[in-house]
Amino acid sequence: MKRRGETTAEPSGTPGLSTTNTAEQSKKMRVIYVVYIIVSLDITWMFLQFSVTPYLAKKLGFDTLWFGYLQTTVGLIQLIGGPMFGRFGDLFGARAALSLACAATTVSFLLLAVANHPVLLFVHKLPTVFMHVLPACQMVVTDLSEPEKRADALSKLGLCFGIGMIAGSTLGGNISMRYGETFAACVGAAGSAFSLLLVLNFIPKSTKSEASRSTIKSENQNKKVFSLGEITRLMKFPGVTRIFLIKIIAGLPSGIFQVMFSIIAMDFFKLEAQQNGYLMAYFGIVQMVVQGGLIGRLTSRFPEKSLLLLSIGITAGVGLAQAYMQTVFHLCLTVTPWMFSLSIFNVITDSMLTKIVPSSDTGTMLGLCASVQSLVRTIGPTIGGFLYMNYGLASIGLIEFFVNIVVFVYLLYRQLSNTERQKE
């Protein structure tokens, strides 16, 4: 016969443990939901700025080439800041990283509001060295999600991106048309300040696991925040360099079209600020559908390597279509497969890279992922401006087609070779 103490002690421990795990999981989900809100707001202000800057630059006398230089400056600054910012997030925690990013965004909008000279338009881009809200949010989601559900969780950030794209493009176009670019910039500054308040009130100091925190604590005694050695160390993990090269090579042609889109819309398609805003809102709707409804289901059913191959193949076809489009309707037809392929490509490569490295280094790795986009924004405007001015829009689409076809053939050959080896 069991004693009364034994009878009561055995069932009482299990519910207590279950309740603790449930409360911990609920707390993690609450933080993730707040992060989704912060991303939606940040992308809203970013696309508000995208809707304002090209037309303000035109008023200040910028031509296509000088606007390309402005975009290149932004990419170069963020290329330098991205990896360092990721390392900063790993060492000092999510709250510090997101607070720095939101504060820098606020300062950038305030500088844009007073920009009445071409030099000041360049000056307002300087805070972008710290403007890495999206990578910081990706770090939080990566830390708080399970590895097998990581791609789905990261894709939800893309859903927030689509919401922000719609809201920001619509707001930016309408506010700048009715009240001017200065007022639109002030709205962006106020919104970024509100995002900062959300960070300070709802984001924990650190989102790393206890094991990762102890690892980081020991590293802090010997290593600096801005350590190039730490960054290059991650590149030596098996598969990291190869995925990064694929991310750069296959992503560059699409990135060129992205960074040149404002100029293409204004010069080739002759769109006004308000019309451009509506078009960007359409892009946002497509992205919401793709990342909110499709990517999660695909990642749960198909291997990541197969999805990566699919995304690159679709991008090649879209590039060929973009080379021959002549109207806004043609552009809208190519947008759905283009956004689908880009969304899968970015989510899958980020997910693959964060799974390779230790959990204590996910922030640095995501900072490196952001630096790939910054690299595209650095060299993309110069290359895109040269191609567009000398060879027309078709040249950008054809390069996108040929580059992605080459990468597609390489990945297909590698995948088939691995399959043959497994059979042997």
Among candidate residues 173, 205, 237, the one where a domain is terminated: 205
State the pLDDT at residue 20: 66
- For residue 201, being part of any structural domain is answered with yes
Please report the pLDDT score of residue 192 as a whole number.
94
**Which contiguous run of DSSP H or E holds residue 169?**
helix 150-179
Specify whether the CB–CB gap between 50 and 280 falls below 8 A: yes
Please tell me what DSSP assigns to residue 302.
Answer: S
Residue 18 has what pLDDT? 59
Whether the predicted pLDDT of 211 surpasses 70 = no
pLDDT mean over 138-155: 80
In a domain, 311, yes or no: yes
In a domain, 17, yes or no: no
Instruction: Please tell me the predicted confidence (pLDDT) of residue 332.
Output: 81
Report the Cα 286 to chain-centroid distance in Å.
16
What local confidence, expressed as pLDDT, does residue 62 receive? Answer: 79
Whether pLDDT at 103 is above 70: yes
Candidate from 14-28, 143-157, 350-364 with smallest mean pLDDT: 14-28
Query: Which pLDDT value is given to residue 5?
Result: 45
Are 157 and 235 contained in the same domain? no
Q: Residue 10: pLDDT above 50?
A: no
Of 41-50, 59-68, 89-98, 299-308, the one with minimum mean pLDDT is: 59-68
- Do 177 and 275 fall into the same domain? no
Q: Residue 146 pLDDT > 70, yes or no?
A: yes
Q: What is the predicted pLDDT for the residue at 39?
A: 92
What secondary structure does DSSP assign to 101-158, as a single string?
HHHHHHHHHHHHHT--SHHHHHHTTGGGGS--HHHHHHHHHHHHS-GGGHHHHHHHHH
CB 173 within 8 A of CB 302: no
| Same domain for 153 and 34 | yes
Q: How many CB atoms lie within 10 A of CB 154?
A: 25
Say if residue 163 is in the same domain as residue 51.
Answer: yes
pLDDT-based confidence at residue 8 (cuts at 50, 70, 90): very low
Residue 189 CA to residue 411 CA, distance in Å, equals: 44
What region does 392 belong to: left with phi over 0, alpha with psi -120 to 50, or beta?
left
**Does residue 145 share a domain with residue 114?**
yes
212-256 pLDDT, tens digit per residue, is 555 545 454 445 555 667 767 888 888 888 998 899 899 888 888
Whether 176 and 237 map to the same domain: the answer is no
**Predicted TM-score of the model (pTM):** 0.72
Q: What is the pLDDT of residue 285?
A: 79
Average the pLDDT over 204-210 and give the result: 73
State which of 148, 174, 205 marks the end of a domain: 205
What is the spatial distance between Cα 88 and Cα 220, in angstroms, rounded to a whole number? 11
| Cα separation, 164 vs 45, whole angstroms | 8
Count how many domains the chain has: 2
Whether residue 232 is found in the same domain as residue 186: no
The range of the structural domain enclosing residue 87 comes to: 28-205
**Residue among 65, 402, 209 nearest 394 (CA):** 402
Domain match, 334 and 413 both: yes
Alpha-carbon distance 256 to 384, whole Å?
6
Residues 6+ apart with CB under 8 A from 301: none
Alpha-carbon gap, residue 329 to 246, rounded angstroms: 31
275-285 average pLDDT score: 75
Q: Which whole number is the average pLDDT over 261-267?
A: 77
Question: Which band of pLDDT confidence, cut at 50, 70 and 90, is reported for residue 1?
Answer: very low
pLDDT digits (tens, 9 = 90+) for 334-389: 888 988 898 889 888 988 888 888 877 777 788 888 778 777 777 877 788 888 88
Cα torsion 332, 333, 336, 337 to 10°: value is: -140
Mean pLDDT (the chain, rounded): 81
In this structure, what CATH number is given to the domain that contains residue 109?
Answer: 1.20.1250.20
As a whole-number percent, the residues of the chain with pLDDT over 70 amount to: 89
- Residue-level pLDDT at 11: 47
Is the pLDDT at 38 greater than 90? The verdict is yes
213 falls within a domain: no
